[in-house]
Amino acid sequence: MKKNSKKVFLFGIFLLFACLSSNAQNWANFKRYADANILIDTPPKVVFMGDSITDAWVNFCPEFFLENNFAGRGISGQVTSQMLLRFQRDVVSLHPKKVVILAGINDIAENQGPIDLKDTFLNICSMADIAKANGIEPIICSLLPANKLPWRKNRNPSDKVIELNKMLSDYAKKNNIKFVDYYSAMVDENQGLAGKYGRPDKNGPDAVHPGRDGYLLMQRIVLEALK
């Protein structure tokens, strides 16, 4: 290998490792809400922690968050391990009175690779434990019904959704934690998200993500738990 070619090759290897290291450091996407967190003067009453379902909620129903002094801290595509890593930054540091945790569907979809359902469950429990240790009341939510995943077309998640919801409901009851049951109110006869609540799409209602009508229903349900 010529001297100049060797330098180019080694520089390419250096850039590759630098990129990999950078991605690993930002795996939980700490930067997403870094600026927004700094700008908060008055602690929010409630922080909503989650994935794309929580992320989009703020866009579909911004008035729900603004009028109630709620903060949305959802990041699309995230699994519970990523949420657990950023829980201190995006929840505890904001000093809310309560945190609403809605998570798990991306673990079932294996967005970051295979994960045992029990580990997903324990990640959610750990978020609740961190909240309680910091004087924040945790509120655990059921996963929304889903019998298919648009980005994982060969999988039916319905049984795992039901199983994880049962684990979360039992844990909440045992530990005197409020449990918000979106599932029962939104499920159809096929263990999927009822079409009227799914986000409109050119191919029909989204099977995982709510549209505005879905979020309006979720708001009524969660507000009962927040009283």
What's the token pair of residue 85?
């890593």
Looking at residue 92, the DSSP 8-state letter turns out to be G
Query: Do 157 and 149 contact (CB within 8 A), yes or no?
Result: yes
**Confidence check: pLDDT of 26 > 90:** no
Print burial letters for 72-83: b (CB count within 10 Å at least 16), e (below 16): bbbbeebbbbbb
H-helix or E-strand spanning residue 50: strand 46-50
Determine the longest span between alpha carbons in the chain, in angstroms.
72
> Using CA atoms, how far apart are residues 165 and 142, in angstroms rounded to an integer?
5
- Alpha-carbon separation of residue 70 from 58, 64, 109, 158, 226 (angstroms): 10, 8, 28, 30, 11
What's the token pair of residue 3?
């001297």
What's the token pair of residue 150?
């648009």
Q: pTM, whole model, 2 decimals?
A: 0.88
Superfamily (CATH) of domain 28-226: SGNH hydrolase (3.40.50.1110)
Specify which residues 49 forms β-bridges with: 73, 101
> Using CA atoms, how far apart are residues 201 and 193, in angstroms rounded to an integer?
14
Q: Tell me which of 23 and 76 has the higher pLDDT.
A: 76
**The residue type at 47:** V
| 169: Cβ contacts below 8 Å, ≥ 6 apart | 142, 179, 181
**Confidence check: pLDDT of 8 > 70:** no
pLDDT tens across 202-227, in order? 777 888 999 999 999 999 999 999 98
Per-residue confidence band for 25, with pLDDT thresholds at 50, 70 and 90? low
Domain coordinates in residue numbering, the chain: 28-226
> Using CA atoms, how far apart are residues 216 and 227, in angstroms rounded to an integer?
17
Average of per-residue pLDDT across 186-207: 90
Q: Tell me which of 12 and 120 has the higher pLDDT.
A: 120
pLDDT tens across 121-131, in order? 999 999 999 99
What's the token pair of residue 59?
């866009």
Q: What torsion do the CA atoms of 152, 155, 161, 163 make, to the nearest 10 degrees?
A: -140
